[in-house]
Chains A and B, each alone.
Chain A
Amino acid sequence: MLRFTTLTADSSAMTALVSIPARGMAPFPGLVVMPHRGGIDRFTIDRLDRLADLGIASVAPDIYHRQPVATPTTQGKDQLRDDEIESDIAAVLEFIAADGRFDKARLGILGHCQGGRTALIGLVSRPEAFCAGVIYYGGSIFKRMGGPGPAPFNRMSVIKCPIAGFFGNDDSNPSPDDVSRLDAELRRLKIPHEFHRYDGAGHAFQDFTDHHRSREPQGEQAWAATVTFLKRELGLDAAAT
């Protein structure tokens, strides 16, 4: 079941898509799904549907809510600010905390592209809330967006949970060097993580709506590995497939 809801972040109305599994009993393990650059679109809906089929409840917030209607996401993505994203994530966590369909003890955060970066922001700003993080080709993690303060990369020492990362070796942001840097830092901080790095794939390789960059075999492999990771870290019953 998919439902639109409206949350409040920094006194601004923020819509969010809530997905609850059709079968099984609440409370369900949950995921905060940070949208990719395109926002809450067909790709995001498809991920929420797939998660629901696995028995995972999820919430995807519209982080573009502060921007005027006429702003296309290609411009809007550059106007996002890290402190505002933190507020948005906080609003989602407040919603989840009050909603009995979500098992707060089994909550992760996942995102693609820009959503990979904002998922990392979630992990570093609210480390106590999450028991798993999934980052697909999250770029620009070495810089802060908006206002003073450290970049997400420089805040990672507070992370408490395992992370799964998925990257295309032809990507330029994050480049293979960027990914190696992230890998090294997580190892230095002793944060358990598994990285999957795919040849013949660049950015957005799992996005079937992106005809240029979509790579179905790598996308499906990555999703299968994501499912394995989530089943383990969110304590999904093996029978609930």
Chain B
Amino acid sequence: MAGEIELQVAGAPVRALFQSPKGKGPFPGIVVCFHMGGLDEFEHWLVEDLARQGFVAIAPDHYHWLPEGVGPERRREFLTDQGLALDLAVCRSYLEMQENVDGDRLGILGHCMGGRTTLLGAGCDKRYKAACIWYGGSAFKPLGQGPSPVDRIPNIAARVMGFFGNDDKNPSPDDVDKIDAAMTKAKIPHEFHRYDATGHGFMNPFSEKYVEKSAKDSWARASAFLKEALGA
């Protein structure tokens, strides 16, 4: 189980998972953007394994923006890109303040809704050097005001790796083609891996959507990429 800390975002206390590797560091840091299920066992799995591999990992609870009693199924009514970006900025600051983190070696990653948040985060913040996106959908529309995550692509400074199932409907293969083209046009170094016989949510071992081979292939590729891009 990953450890938990409390952050402050716009004056409100916000839970976050946080785990460091063994040893003094300094280590590269990774902001983990959660999937629709929130800070559940899958997010613990991610944060733990990233720490084991040599990254300081943090995953904020974006659902602090939801009023008491409101569940994730109504998240689009309350989450905004501004709010999400603020959560990420606080996490990034928190990482940079840690003695065991090298603030010049930061990455960001996420699955599903977190894939969209990752694209948003990389498009808002040039300090990330690496971004990994798993099946981020609904990326062509903003939540609240401002450009959509896809429209922010030209601002990305990170190298990007993306993982998508060819049976996914959101993002569909067409959507992925468009995102790929937008990155190519903006000259963002990126590599997409697209898996046959694989739909949405494939990397989550706790979900019935899990596709073992695609999941493990994507995690191994992402691990290799992050180590190389962030020098772990």
B216 contacts A40, C-beta separation under 8 Å: yes
Most chain A beta-carbon contacts within 10 A, residue among B52, B211, B216: B216
Interface size on B, as a range, is 20 to 34
Most chain A beta-carbon contacts within 10 A, residue among B49, B214, B227, B228: B227
Would you list which residues of chain A between 1 and 41 have a CB under 8 Å from chain B? 1-4, 15, 17, 38-41
Size of A's binding interface in residues, CB under 8 A? 24
Q: Is B220 an interface residue when CB atoms closer than 8 A count as contact?
A: yes
Q: Is B208 an interface residue when CB atoms closer than 8 A count as contact?
A: no
**Which B residues contact A (CB, under 8 angstroms)?**
49, 52-54, 195-198, 211-214, 216-217, 219-221, 223-224, 227-228
Q: Is A72 an interface residue when CB atoms closer than 8 A count as contact?
A: yes
Chain A residues with CB below 8 A from B212, complex form: 39, 72-73
Residue of B nearest to A18 (CB): B224
Chain A residues with CB below 8 A from B49, complex form: 42
Residue of A nearest to B45 (CB): A42
Would you list which residues of chain A between 65 and 83 have a CB under 8 Å from chain B? 67-73
| B interface, over-half SS | helix
Q: Is A49 an interface residue when CB atoms closer than 8 A count as contact?
A: yes
Q: Is A227 an interface residue when CB atoms closer than 8 A count as contact?
A: no
B221 contacts A4, C-beta separation under 8 Å: yes
Known: A17-B220, A40-B216, A41-B220. A69 touches B211 (CB 8 A): yes
B197 contacts A70, C-beta separation under 8 Å: yes
**Neighbour of B228 across the interface among A2, A44, A49, A64, CB < 8 A:** A2
B216 contacts A70, C-beta separation under 8 Å: no
Chain A residues with CB below 8 A from B195, complex form: 69
Q: Is A45 an interface residue when CB atoms closer than 8 A count as contact?
A: yes
B224 contacts A3, C-beta separation under 8 Å: yes
Q: Is A210 an interface residue when CB atoms closer than 8 A count as contact?
A: no
A46 contacts B224, C-beta separation under 8 Å: no
Q: Which 3 A-B pairs have the closest CB atoms?
A: A2-B224, A69-B197, A70-B197
Chain B residues with CB below 8 A from A62, complex form: 217
14 contacts between A and B (CB under 8 A): A2-B228, A3-B224, A3-B228, A39-B216, A40-B216, A41-B219, A41-B220, A42-B52, A42-B219, A45-B53, A68-B197, A69-B214, A70-B211, A73-B212
